[in-house]
Amino acid sequence: MVPLTPDLLQAVTKPARYTGNEWNMSQKRHEDVACTFALSMPDVYEVGMSNLGLKILYEILNRREDTAAERVYAPWVDMEAEMRKRGLPLFSLETRTPIREFDFLGFSLQYEMIYTNVLNMLDLAGIPVYAVERDEDAPFVVGGGPCVYNVEPIADFFDLFVIGEGEEVLGELVAAFVRWKHEGRPDGRTGFLRRAAGIPGVYVPSLYAPRYNAGDFSGMERLGEDVPAVVYKRVVRDMDEAETMEKPVVPYIGIVHDRVMLELFRGCSRGCRFCQAGMAYRPVRERSKEKLCALARKMADATGYDEMSLTSLSSADYSCLDGLVDNLMEDFAEDKVSFSLPSLRIDSFSIGLADRMQQVRKSGLTFAPEAGTQRMRDVINKGVTEEDLMNAVSAAFRKGWKSVKLYFMLGLPTETDEDIIGVARLAKKVVDRYQEITGKRGAKVTISVSCFVPKAFTPFQWSAQNTLEEFERKQRLLKENIRDRSIQFNYHDARVSRLEGVLARGDRRLSAVIYEAWKRGARFDGWSDQFHEEYWLGAFEALGVDRTYYNERERKRDEAFPWEHTSPGVARAFLRAEWERAVKGELTPDCRRGHCTGCAVCPTLDVRVVDGGART
């Protein structure tokens, strides 16, 4: 057990990040189980503890008698300094066991800017950063989460990846490990990795070798006849039957999402062309209203939370939402539990529903038009109009709301200056509408603008990303056109978005760049006060890697992509057709509400849409 002495805890901010012993924590003796699994999101405790996927996997693994799952997050910079000074290894929260002693270390990879944290945590744990350098006693390092749809930039650091949803496949992986262990670990680490590669949804990068032709990626060679050419994602077919979280761990300090998270459904078929999650998590599979009400009661009783978030990619699209909210409000009337929808579609917004949900605690409303003009919204297949937005905010203002947040993106394909100025004009129209309805000023409209990053397995995977100079010019243009003091303008650091663009569509050659940036001091790159661009620029320069190759050029129509051997099931032909429709500004309907649009997920993965409790 790693000692946590009073002088150590007094030397760092928020010592509760490291002490464990939270309510509903699972604690098992390692000698009583056959497999130990450390689960991590490589970010600070408050962020990692808010990750729904890890909460679910933690509980599922700990239901197994043969497995102990524990948590570990990235120590903040002050704690890292103390650990290195005192020679303390990275340890788990449950038993303070050094991570080096676990059988598995699993990272949830939520976004590209935490890659250097992965390396830093491996180093703090005393685990070799490169997979090829690990000995027979080292843990198997596993990756999962949204970034698995292009893991090549970090492939050299991981033993294996779980592609897709982990509820079922992780249990199969553990079972395979336990059998291998009881058989005497035949053929060592390589023997287990080859077994793991036979599990659908598991990608073992050491069994594949990238090939290049004149500096361009040309394909992936399989190192064995039994290695699958394409590793398709695992998908939970029936959300009602799937194991899930019922007793979340309750932290002692505030976290990002400090509330019960009730997952309504998986997937989204709206088809926004910039959205990787909308493509990768298909198809839509809803939980029944009855199952959700039962889960809500179990989690509320197990935690004592008085706030519940109804989560999904587009929660307002849940087919039984009105009835569900009515049931929840009735069931929890005496408990004074408040409910919230974190993601609201403008065209499916119901002010009556929002009003009922916020009877206990009223907050601002958030919408995501994404673009300032109808032309641009059609390019990205957003499928909403200015009229939809104005109708939504008008209804809200009449019910007493005065605060609205609007999300937009800059740098989308085919974007013009007129589209950018349209963002300012749209925000001003919202402010004016408040004055028209109430007869007074006082509205607060916040526009939050991110920089577009092309992602793998989206129609925009062929697109070039804006240069840094162009992003900054567009940010200035938008700021110059916001003249009403009721409008607050927030924007992302374009330097971070540009680096994210490189990593999002990079190949295995970037592993050396990530390693070099980490050695120079890069960590917590997603935190504005910790990001140091000079570490990355120095790494690219030292290794002679042209970062613009990965994000500033439009990809060729038939170009080989380094991510297509791990697939969510979406057909390349469908994505290319969507790219061409985007250039023409043509809309593609939601297959959930109309005919099949041919993305190929359902037949490829043998899965069906579950909508309103019925299979379609």
What pLDDT is attached to residue 593? 79
Q: Note the helical H segments in 205-347.
A: 276-280, 289-303, 321-331
Residue 552: what pLDDT? 96
- Cβ-in-10-Å burial (0-12, 13-18, 19+) of 96 comes to middle
Packing angle of the helix pair 52-63, 166-182 (nearest 10 deg): 40
Tell me, what's the pLDDT at 616?
39
The C-alpha atoms of residue 353 and residue 289 are separated, in whole angstroms, by 16
Pairing of strands 307-311, 260-263: parallel
Q: Which residues of the chain have pLDDT under 50?
A: 613-616
Whether the CB-CB separation of 149 and 556 falls below 8 Å is answered with: no
Domain ranges across the chain: 6-232, 260-509+545-605
Tens-digit pLDDT profile for residues 308-350: 999 999 888 899 998 999 999 999 989 988 888 876 667 656 7
pLDDT at 316: 85
Closest by CA to 443, choosing from 403, 484, 482, is: 403
Of the options 3.30.70.2860, 3.40.50.280, 3.40.640.10, 3.40.30.10, the CATH number for the domain spanning 6-232: 3.40.50.280
What fold, for 260-509+545-605? Answer: pyruvate-formate lyase- activating enzyme (3.80.30)
pLDDT for 340 equals: 86
Cβ–Cβ under 8 Å, residues 568 and 149: yes
- Token readout for 569 is 């099931």
pLDDT for 582 equals: 97
